[in-house]
Amino acid sequence: MSDFSILLLDKQPGITSFRSLHEVKACHKGSKVGHTGTLDKFAGGLMIVLTGEATKLNPLFSGMDKSYRAEVELGRETDTLDPEGETVRTAELPQKTALEKALESFRGEIMQAPPAYSAIHVDGRRAYERIRKGEQIEMEKRPVTVYSLTLESFSGSSCILDAKVSKGTYIRSLARDVAEAAGSCGCLRKLDRYEVGPYTRADLTGLTPSPEESENLLSKVCPRYFDFDPAYRKQLVNGFLDKKGIIGKRPSEDGYYRLRMEGRLFGVVNKEGGRYTIIALTERD
Protein backbone atom coordinates (compact mmCIF):
# COMPACT_ATOMS: atom_id res chain seq x y z
CA MET A 1 0.00 0.00 0.00
CA SER A 2 1.39 3.40 -1.00
CA ASP A 3 0.95 6.45 1.23
CA PHE A 4 -1.63 8.68 -0.42
CA SER A 5 -3.29 11.36 1.68
CA ILE A 6 -4.95 14.70 1.03
CA LEU A 7 -5.36 16.83 4.16
CA LEU A 8 -6.99 20.18 4.80
CA LEU A 9 -5.45 21.81 7.85
CA ASP A 10 -6.05 25.08 9.69
CA LYS A 11 -2.65 26.73 10.16
CA GLN A 12 -2.35 28.82 13.30
CA PRO A 13 -0.76 32.30 13.30
CA GLY A 14 2.77 32.49 14.72
CA ILE A 15 4.30 29.46 12.98
CA THR A 16 5.70 29.12 9.49
CA SER A 17 4.02 27.01 6.84
CA PHE A 18 7.06 24.72 6.94
CA ARG A 19 6.79 24.29 10.71
CA SER A 20 3.08 23.55 10.45
CA LEU A 21 3.95 20.35 8.55
CA HIS A 22 6.05 18.83 11.36
CA GLU A 23 3.17 16.92 12.93
CA VAL A 24 2.02 15.69 9.52
CA LYS A 25 5.53 14.40 8.79
CA ALA A 26 5.60 12.62 12.15
CA CYS A 27 2.38 10.81 11.22
CA HIS A 28 3.59 9.94 7.71
CA LYS A 29 7.19 8.91 8.41
CA GLY A 30 9.18 8.03 5.35
CA SER A 31 6.74 9.76 3.00
CA LYS A 32 7.16 12.96 1.07
CA VAL A 33 4.98 15.76 2.50
CA GLY A 34 4.20 19.12 0.92
CA HIS A 35 1.67 21.92 0.93
CA THR A 36 0.10 23.63 -2.07
CA GLY A 37 0.24 27.26 -0.95
CA THR A 38 2.34 29.13 1.61
CA LEU A 39 0.90 31.31 4.36
CA ASP A 40 3.08 33.94 6.05
CA LYS A 41 4.12 33.26 9.64
CA PHE A 42 1.78 35.89 11.11
CA ALA A 43 -1.18 34.61 9.06
CA GLY A 44 -3.55 31.72 9.69
CA GLY A 45 -6.00 29.68 7.70
CA LEU A 46 -6.49 26.82 5.32
CA MET A 47 -3.62 24.80 3.91
CA ILE A 48 -3.93 21.82 1.59
CA VAL A 49 -1.29 19.22 2.43
CA LEU A 50 -0.37 16.22 0.27
CA THR A 51 1.58 13.13 1.30
CA GLY A 52 3.24 10.27 -0.57
CA GLU A 53 1.91 9.65 -4.06
CA ALA A 54 -0.59 12.47 -3.63
CA THR A 55 2.24 15.05 -3.81
CA LYS A 56 2.24 14.42 -7.57
CA LEU A 57 -1.19 16.08 -7.69
CA ASN A 58 0.13 19.52 -6.71
CA PRO A 59 -0.88 21.07 -10.09
CA LEU A 60 -4.51 20.20 -9.35
CA PHE A 61 -4.50 22.34 -6.20
CA SER A 62 -1.83 25.04 -6.49
CA GLY A 63 -3.66 27.28 -8.96
CA MET A 64 -6.86 27.74 -6.98
CA ASP A 65 -8.51 31.04 -6.13
CA LYS A 66 -8.39 32.00 -2.45
CA SER A 67 -10.50 34.08 -0.07
CA TYR A 68 -9.07 36.14 2.78
CA ARG A 69 -10.24 38.27 5.68
CA ALA A 70 -7.57 40.91 6.35
CA GLU A 71 -7.22 43.38 9.20
CA VAL A 72 -5.31 46.41 7.93
CA GLU A 73 -3.57 48.93 10.17
CA LEU A 74 -3.97 52.36 8.59
CA GLY A 75 -1.51 55.25 8.81
CA ARG A 76 1.55 53.03 9.22
CA GLU A 77 3.58 50.95 6.76
CA THR A 78 6.25 48.43 7.64
CA ASP A 79 9.09 47.14 5.47
CA THR A 80 7.51 43.66 5.39
CA LEU A 81 3.93 45.01 5.08
CA ASP A 82 2.95 42.90 8.09
CA PRO A 83 3.03 43.27 11.90
CA GLU A 84 6.50 41.73 12.19
CA GLY A 85 8.29 44.45 10.23
CA GLU A 86 9.89 47.80 11.07
CA THR A 87 7.97 51.02 10.50
CA VAL A 88 9.16 52.77 7.34
CA ARG A 89 6.37 55.27 6.79
CA THR A 90 3.49 56.99 8.56
CA ALA A 91 0.68 59.14 7.21
CA GLU A 92 -2.63 60.69 8.18
CA LEU A 93 -5.54 58.33 8.58
CA PRO A 94 -7.88 58.07 5.58
CA GLN A 95 -11.57 58.88 5.56
CA LYS A 96 -13.96 55.97 5.13
CA THR A 97 -15.33 57.45 1.91
CA ALA A 98 -11.81 57.69 0.46
CA LEU A 99 -11.15 54.08 1.37
CA GLU A 100 -14.39 52.90 -0.22
CA LYS A 101 -13.58 54.87 -3.35
CA ALA A 102 -10.07 53.40 -3.49
CA LEU A 103 -11.40 49.84 -3.41
CA GLU A 104 -13.16 50.36 -6.73
CA SER A 105 -9.87 50.51 -8.67
CA PHE A 106 -8.62 47.22 -7.22
CA ARG A 107 -11.43 44.99 -8.41
CA GLY A 108 -10.94 42.89 -11.52
CA GLU A 109 -7.64 42.39 -13.36
CA ILE A 110 -4.92 44.61 -11.91
CA MET A 111 -1.16 44.96 -12.04
CA GLN A 112 0.42 44.32 -8.65
CA ALA A 113 3.96 44.67 -7.34
CA PRO A 114 4.73 41.83 -4.89
CA PRO A 115 6.26 42.71 -1.50
CA ALA A 116 10.04 43.10 -1.48
CA TYR A 117 10.06 40.71 1.47
CA SER A 118 8.85 37.70 -0.50
CA ALA A 119 10.26 34.43 -1.82
CA ILE A 120 10.04 35.57 -5.45
CA HIS A 121 13.31 35.18 -7.33
CA VAL A 122 14.96 38.34 -8.62
CA ASP A 123 17.98 37.68 -10.84
CA GLY A 124 18.31 34.16 -9.47
CA ARG A 125 17.99 34.97 -5.75
CA ARG A 126 15.00 35.32 -3.46
CA ALA A 127 13.91 38.92 -3.02
CA TYR A 128 13.94 38.84 0.78
CA GLU A 129 17.51 37.50 0.83
CA ARG A 130 18.70 40.42 -1.29
CA ILE A 131 16.83 42.94 0.87
CA ARG A 132 18.37 41.55 4.07
CA LYS A 133 21.81 42.02 2.56
CA GLY A 134 21.06 45.68 2.03
CA GLU A 135 20.42 45.56 -1.70
CA GLN A 136 17.89 47.84 -3.32
CA ILE A 137 15.53 45.99 -5.63
CA GLU A 138 12.44 46.93 -7.56
CA MET A 139 9.66 44.37 -7.76
CA GLU A 140 8.14 44.16 -11.21
CA LYS A 141 4.37 44.39 -11.40
CA ARG A 142 2.48 41.38 -12.66
CA PRO A 143 -1.16 40.70 -13.52
CA VAL A 144 -3.47 39.26 -10.87
CA THR A 145 -7.24 39.15 -10.51
CA VAL A 146 -9.28 40.41 -7.57
CA TYR A 147 -12.70 38.82 -7.98
CA SER A 148 -14.26 40.62 -5.04
CA LEU A 149 -13.06 43.19 -2.51
CA THR A 150 -15.28 44.62 0.20
CA LEU A 151 -14.88 46.82 3.25
CA GLU A 152 -16.28 44.82 6.15
CA SER A 153 -15.60 47.37 8.90
CA PHE A 154 -13.77 50.66 9.52
CA SER A 155 -12.61 52.12 12.82
CA GLY A 156 -10.49 55.03 11.66
CA SER A 157 -7.12 53.54 12.51
CA SER A 158 -7.87 50.14 10.98
CA CYS A 159 -10.24 48.33 8.67
CA ILE A 160 -11.17 44.81 7.73
CA LEU A 161 -11.18 43.80 4.08
CA ASP A 162 -12.67 40.67 2.54
CA ALA A 163 -11.04 39.60 -0.72
CA LYS A 164 -11.33 36.74 -3.19
CA VAL A 165 -8.28 36.64 -5.43
CA SER A 166 -6.42 34.61 -8.03
CA LYS A 167 -3.23 32.66 -7.57
CA GLY A 168 -0.21 34.89 -7.07
CA THR A 169 -2.07 37.78 -5.43
CA TYR A 170 -0.37 39.19 -2.33
CA ILE A 171 -2.79 40.53 0.27
CA ARG A 172 0.08 42.45 1.89
CA SER A 173 0.53 44.35 -1.38
CA LEU A 174 -3.21 44.83 -1.75
CA ALA A 175 -3.43 46.39 1.73
CA ARG A 176 -0.49 48.68 0.96
CA ASP A 177 -1.89 49.80 -2.37
CA VAL A 178 -5.48 50.36 -1.19
CA ALA A 179 -4.31 52.45 1.77
CA GLU A 180 -2.05 54.52 -0.49
CA ALA A 181 -4.85 55.06 -3.00
CA ALA A 182 -6.98 56.36 -0.11
CA GLY A 183 -4.32 58.98 0.69
CA SER A 184 -2.65 57.15 3.56
CA CYS A 185 -0.49 54.07 4.05
CA GLY A 186 -1.04 50.71 5.65
CA CYS A 187 0.09 47.21 6.51
CA LEU A 188 -1.54 43.99 7.64
CA ARG A 189 -2.22 43.24 11.29
CA LYS A 190 -3.94 39.91 10.79
CA LEU A 191 -4.75 37.65 7.87
CA ASP A 192 -7.04 34.65 7.67
CA ARG A 193 -7.36 32.44 4.58
CA TYR A 194 -10.81 30.97 4.98
CA GLU A 195 -11.38 29.53 1.51
CA VAL A 196 -9.16 27.71 -0.99
CA GLY A 197 -10.93 26.81 -4.22
CA PRO A 198 -14.01 24.79 -3.20
CA TYR A 199 -12.71 24.16 0.33
CA THR A 200 -13.79 25.80 3.58
CA ARG A 201 -13.28 24.96 7.25
CA ALA A 202 -16.22 22.58 6.96
CA ASP A 203 -13.83 20.33 5.00
CA LEU A 204 -11.04 20.20 7.60
CA THR A 205 -9.44 16.80 8.18
CA GLY A 206 -7.16 15.28 10.77
CA LEU A 207 -3.47 14.49 10.29
CA THR A 208 -4.24 11.00 9.02
CA PRO A 209 -7.41 11.21 6.94
CA SER A 210 -9.13 8.02 5.87
CA PRO A 211 -8.96 7.01 2.18
CA GLU A 212 -12.60 8.07 1.91
CA GLU A 213 -11.83 11.55 3.30
CA SER A 214 -8.93 12.00 0.89
CA GLU A 215 -11.06 10.96 -2.07
CA ASN A 216 -13.87 13.26 -0.95
CA LEU A 217 -11.48 16.23 -1.04
CA LEU A 218 -10.08 15.10 -4.38
CA SER A 219 -13.52 14.66 -5.93
CA LYS A 220 -14.27 18.37 -5.45
CA VAL A 221 -11.55 19.28 -7.96
CA CYS A 222 -11.58 16.02 -9.90
CA PRO A 223 -15.24 14.96 -10.17
CA ARG A 224 -14.82 12.66 -13.20
CA TYR A 225 -13.70 9.07 -12.76
CA PHE A 226 -13.32 5.67 -14.40
CA ASP A 227 -14.25 2.38 -12.76
CA PHE A 228 -11.96 -0.57 -13.51
CA ASP A 229 -12.27 -4.30 -13.12
CA PRO A 230 -9.72 -5.74 -10.64
CA ALA A 231 -8.46 -7.91 -13.49
CA TYR A 232 -6.64 -4.85 -14.82
CA ARG A 233 -4.86 -4.06 -11.54
CA LYS A 234 -1.43 -5.28 -12.64
CA GLN A 235 -1.59 -3.39 -15.93
CA LEU A 236 -2.56 -0.19 -14.13
CA VAL A 237 0.23 -0.53 -11.57
CA ASN A 238 2.67 -0.99 -14.45
CA GLY A 239 1.31 2.08 -16.21
CA PHE A 240 -0.29 0.27 -19.15
CA LEU A 241 -3.39 2.39 -19.37
CA ASP A 242 -3.73 2.69 -23.14
CA LYS A 243 -2.99 -0.93 -23.95
CA LYS A 244 -5.30 -3.89 -24.44
CA GLY A 245 -8.41 -1.69 -24.55
CA ILE A 246 -8.32 -0.93 -20.84
CA ILE A 247 -9.50 2.60 -21.40
CA GLY A 248 -9.13 3.24 -25.11
CA LYS A 249 -12.80 2.80 -26.00
CA ARG A 250 -14.12 5.10 -23.30
CA PRO A 251 -15.15 8.52 -24.65
CA SER A 252 -13.75 11.31 -22.51
CA GLU A 253 -12.53 14.89 -22.60
CA ASP A 254 -9.00 15.97 -21.74
CA GLY A 255 -8.29 16.54 -18.05
CA TYR A 256 -7.88 14.69 -14.76
CA TYR A 257 -9.87 11.58 -13.81
CA ARG A 258 -9.96 9.49 -10.69
CA LEU A 259 -9.29 5.77 -11.17
CA ARG A 260 -11.59 3.65 -9.00
CA MET A 261 -11.53 -0.06 -8.37
CA GLU A 262 -13.78 -2.15 -6.13
CA GLY A 263 -15.54 0.94 -4.81
CA ARG A 264 -12.48 2.92 -3.78
CA LEU A 265 -9.85 5.27 -5.13
CA PHE A 266 -6.97 3.58 -6.93
CA GLY A 267 -5.26 6.55 -8.56
CA VAL A 268 -5.45 9.62 -10.77
CA VAL A 269 -4.94 9.83 -14.52
CA ASN A 270 -4.57 12.80 -16.86
CA LYS A 271 -5.76 12.78 -20.44
CA GLU A 272 -3.97 15.23 -22.72
CA GLY A 273 -3.90 15.25 -26.50
CA GLY A 274 -5.77 11.94 -26.61
CA ARG A 275 -3.21 10.16 -24.46
CA TYR A 276 -3.71 8.95 -20.89
CA THR A 277 -0.96 9.24 -18.29
CA ILE A 278 -1.16 7.81 -14.78
CA ILE A 279 -0.19 10.60 -12.39
CA ALA A 280 -0.47 8.87 -9.01
CA LEU A 281 -1.60 5.55 -7.52
CA THR A 282 -2.83 4.74 -4.06
CA GLU A 283 -1.28 1.29 -4.31
CA ARG A 284 2.04 0.01 -5.60
CA ASP A 285 3.41 -3.54 -5.77
Handedness of CA 195, 198, 202, 204 (dihedral sign): negative
Which of 183, 181, 170 minimizes the C-alpha distance to 81? 170
Q: What span, in angstroms and rounded, lies between the C-alpha atoms of 153 and 137?
A: 34
Selecting among 3, 10, 40, 65, the annotated active-site residue is 40
CB-CB neighbours of 107 under 10 Å: 14
Q: Is 79 a catalytic residue?
A: no
CB-CB neighbours of 177 under 10 Å: 18
Q: What span, in angstroms and rounded, lies between the C-alpha atoms of 188 and 175?
A: 7
Contact between 28 and 3 (Cβ < 8 Å): yes
- Which active-site residues does the annotation give? 40
